[in-house]
């Protein structure tokens, strides 16, 4: 199911590969514990945290399409 069509604000886990990217986006660090990332995102965005996370991914990969992001290229290895 598409997240946009069937929206449920469930944002309780972050896979390791996403953890690396969130660490760079939100903290400009290589590694931040998942618990801290989740706590900070929920604190800042509340009930909209999953939607915000989705939009951040959309924006990040749209930006990558138009501009080279060195650290991201190393992480996604496409």
Q: Is residue 29 part of a domain?
A: yes
Q: Which residues touch 9 (CB under 8 Å, ≥6 apart)? A: 47, 48, 49, 50, 51
* Structure confidence by residue, pLDDT tens digits, 24-72: 999 999 999 999 999 999 999 888 888 888 899 899 989 988 998 888 8
Q: Is residue 55 part of a domain?
A: yes
Q: Is residue 4 part of a domain?
A: no
Structure confidence at residue 8 (pLDDT): 58
Q: Is residue 42 part of a domain?
A: yes
Residue 53 burial by Cβ neighbours in a 10 Å radius (0-12, 13-18, 19+): buried
Structure confidence at residue 37 (pLDDT): 94
Residues in the chain: 78
Give dist(CA 29, CA 67) in Å, integer: 21
Q: Is residue 46 part of a domain?
A: yes
Structure confidence at residue 1 (pLDDT): 42
Instruction: Give me the domain span that covers residue 50.
Output: 16-76
Q: Is residue 28 part of a domain?
A: yes
Q: Is residue 10 part of a domain?
A: no
Give dist(CA 3, CA 26) in Å, integer: 22
- How many structural domains does the chain have? 1
């Amino acid at each position: 199911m598409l997240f946009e069509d069937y929206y449920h604000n469930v944002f309780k886990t972050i896979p390791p590969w996403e953890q690396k990217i969130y660490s760079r986006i939100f903290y400009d660090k290589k590694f931040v514990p998942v618990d801290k990332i989740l706590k900070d995102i929920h604190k800042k965005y509340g009930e909209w945290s999953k939607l915000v996370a989705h939009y951040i991914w959309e924006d990040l990969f749209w930006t990558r399409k138009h501009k080279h992001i060195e650290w991201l290229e190393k992480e996604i290895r496409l």
